[in-house]
Amino acid sequence: MNKFTLLLSSRKFWAALVGLAMVILTHYVPDFPVAEDQILALVLVIVSYILGTALEDGLSGHSTL
């Protein structure tokens, strides 16, 4: 597979994209009905997921990107 296809099938990429979308949304829509501490918690969970998935990929030898 080419790199673009691998990127689009990467769980880490989609998790990072969701986290980035939430940060951008709360920046440009200040009255977004989610509290700042809830956004922070969501971003921390996403970062933990990305790190856990990267560790899993690294230990199993299935690095996609």
Tens-place pLDDT, residues 26-37: 889 988 888 888
Q: What angle do CA 48, 53, 59 make, to 5 degrees?
A: 125
Across 43-63, average pLDDT: 84
Statement: residue 17 has pLDDT above 90:
yes
Q: pTM, whole model, 2 decimals?
A: 0.71
Question: Per-residue confidence at 45, pLDDT binned at 50, 70, 90?
Answer: very high
Distance CA 41, CA 2 (A): 34
Q: Quote the percentage of the chain above a pLDDT of 70.
A: 92
